[in-house]
Each structure stands twice: as structure tokens, then as C-alpha cells.
């Protein structure tokens, strides 16, 4: 998909010179069950994601996408292989060290938001700010997210798109180097999905946040630096895109 830009659309160049080796995965394998019930979900995955890249991961249901994301996030343990994030192999970390990795380096955005229902939008973001060494300014972040006038509302008082913006803000307030997104637009309508993708594009540009996005929306590949396809637990294709289409111009 290198150079893949639809005819007649505006495009933007990929930012020059991201540092290599930010996320390096080698020989990553994961299975579940024993004996005849054993299922090999990931089988020898190897991939490099550059610092500051938006990497999108496609694949049919059951191909191992969510398991891969959970392993990157330190939420599950690999059976074999290594996951090097910013020079640290998280597969070798203790449970306590993994907690520190998730606090310091990682942000996670879930499809169904996972907001705390009894906390306001601002308070949901503050939860993560309290565990960060140098958090972003919450007032500034709320304004950038378009949530300033909703900051005192509870999740059930705002739209799905506004809840997803809050989930992104909660992940971003820590200034994570790596943002993992599991179907971030899967529960949203077309218009709101476009708004969320434009927000994620701005986040990548403003903060240089490396992103790995699991999605079924094929249009997102056009705004991504790096496109992976997963099939039967293996990387079926691994390509980079040298001409990015702005999120506002995506259609599906």
C-alpha cells in the first residue's frame, strides 16, 4: 500500500526521520489451552514500529489482533519471544515492573471506553493524571478534546463520541510514548468516527505519540504510516505508506 492515495484527494507527506527501534517485536508466540484443546493464537510475530508512527493492524476475527495488543500492553504474558519498547524487553519484566511500564510508557483506548460511571469527564482524566510524573495540563487537554463544556458531566450524560474523546484524554494525560487503540471507532457512527480519527491524527502530530490501532475499518490505512495484516496468528503483510491522506478526507 505504499503510495496509496485516492485520486483527487489531498495528501500530506510522512514526517521525516522518526527514530527506529521504538517498538521491536521478535518471535512472539501465544497460545491457550492444553493438549487437544490447545489453540495457537500468535505464531512467531516479528515487526518493527518506528517512534512517532501510526501503525494500523487488520485481520479477520480470531486472527490474534486483540491478543497482540494485550501482549504489547503487558496485560498478558507471551509464551515465547520478545517485545522491546523504548529499549526495554517487557517480556522479561516482573509484575511490579509491568505496572511501572504501563504507568510510565503506555496509554490504552478501548472500544467501549471503560470510563468510571460515577466520575465526571474531568475526573476520569484526572485518575490517570494522578499516577503520572509530569501529566499534561488537564484544562488544556479538555479544550483540545472539545470536552471543556462537558467536563462536569458524567459518562451517561454525554454521547458515545464524547465518551471516546474522554477515553483518549485519559490515556493521553500521562504523555505515553505508546498508545494502543482497540477498535476506537467500532461503536461510533460515521460522522463521529471521522471526528475521532481527526483527533487521533492531531494527537500524533502534536505529541509525536506512537500508535498501534486495531480496526476493521480499511479506510484508516490511508492515514497510517504502517499497515499490518494478521492472518492465522502470523503477519500476512507488512507495508509502509509514504503518502498519508488526512483523516478529514477519508471515506468508507
pLDDT digits (tens, 9 = 90+) for 22-45: 999 999 999 999 999 999 999 999
pLDDT digits (tens, 9 = 90+) for 94-145: 999 999 999 989 999 988 889 999 999 999 999 999 988 889 999 999 998 9
Average pLDDT over residues 56-76: 95
Proportion of the chain in helix, strand, coil states, percent, rounded to 5: 35, 25, 40
**What's the confidence (pLDDT) of residue 187?**
86
> Does some domain include residue 185?
yes
pTM reported for the whole predicted model: 0.88
Does residue 7 surpass a pLDDT of 90? no
Which residues fall within 8 angstroms of residue 215, CB to CB, at 6 or more apart? Answer: 56, 57, 58, 181, 183, 184, 185, 186
Number of folded domains that form the chain:
1
> Does some domain include residue 46?
no
Helix spans in 77-159 (H): 95-105, 121-129, 138-144
**What's the confidence (pLDDT) of residue 132?**
87
pLDDT digits (tens, 9 = 90+) for 152-205: 999 999 999 999 999 999 999 999 999 999 999 988 999 999 999 999 999 999
> Does some domain include residue 13?
no
| Domain of residue 180, residue span | 52-77+96-246
Which residues fall within 8 angstroms of residue 52, CB to CB, at 6 or more apart? Answer: 15, 18, 19, 22, 204, 208, 209, 210
Q: Find the CATH number of the domain harbouring 176.
A: 3.40.50.300
Does residue 54 surpass a pLDDT of 70? yes
> Does some domain include residue 66?
yes
> Does some domain include residue 26?
no
Q: Strand pairing partners for 213?
A: 56, 181
| Rounded CA separation 144/165 (Å) | 10
> Does some domain include residue 233?
yes
| Rounded CA separation 40/139 (Å) | 46
Does residue 224 surpass a pLDDT of 60? yes
> Does some domain include residue 27?
no
> Does some domain include residue 43?
no
**What's the confidence (pLDDT) of residue 20?**
55
Element (H, E) at 31: strand 23-32
Amino acid at each position: 500500500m505504499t503510495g496509496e492515495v485516492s485520486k483527487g484527494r489531498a495528501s500530506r507527506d510522512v514526517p521525516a526521520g522518526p527514530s527506529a527501534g521504538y517498538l521491536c517485536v521478535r518471535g512472539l508466540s501465544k497460545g491457550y489451552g492444553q493438549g487437544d484443546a490447545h489453540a495457537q493464537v500468535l505464531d512467531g510475530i516479528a515487526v518493527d514500529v518506528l517512534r512517532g508512527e501510526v501503525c494500523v493492524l487488520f485481520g479477520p476475527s480470531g486472527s490474534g489482533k486483540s491478543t497482540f495488543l494485550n501482549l504489547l500492553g503487558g496485560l498478558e504474558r507471551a509464551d515465547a519471544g520478545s517485545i522491546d519498547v523504548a529499549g526495554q524487553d517487557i517480556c522479561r519484566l516482573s509484575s511490579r515492573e509491568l505496572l511501572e511500564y504501563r504507568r510510565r510508557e503506555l496509554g490504552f483506548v478501548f472500544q467501549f471506553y471503560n470510563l468510571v460511571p460515577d466520575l465526571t469527564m474531568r475526573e476520569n482524566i484526572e485518575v490517570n493524571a494522578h499516577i503520572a510524573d509530569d501529566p499534561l495540563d488537564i484544562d488544556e487537554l479538555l479544550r483540545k478534546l472539545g470536552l471543556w463544556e462537558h467536563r462536569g458531566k458524567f459518562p451517561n450524560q454525554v454521547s458515545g463520541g464524547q465518551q471516546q474523546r474522554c477515553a483518549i484524554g485519559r490515556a493521553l494525560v500521562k504523555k505515553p510514548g505508546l498508545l494502543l487503540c482497540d477498535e476506537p471507532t467500532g461503536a461510533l457512527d460515521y460522522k463521529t468516527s471521522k471526528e475521532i480519527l481527526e483527533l487521533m491524527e492531531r494527537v500524533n502530530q502534536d505529541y509525536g505519540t506512537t500508535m498501534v490501532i486495531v480496526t476493521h475499518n480499511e479506510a484508516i490505512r490511508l492515514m497510517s504510516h504502517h499497515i499490518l495484516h494478521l492472518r492465522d496468528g502470523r503477519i500476512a503483510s507488512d507495508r509502509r505508506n509514504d503518502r498519508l491522506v488526512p483523516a478529514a478526507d477519508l471515506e468508507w
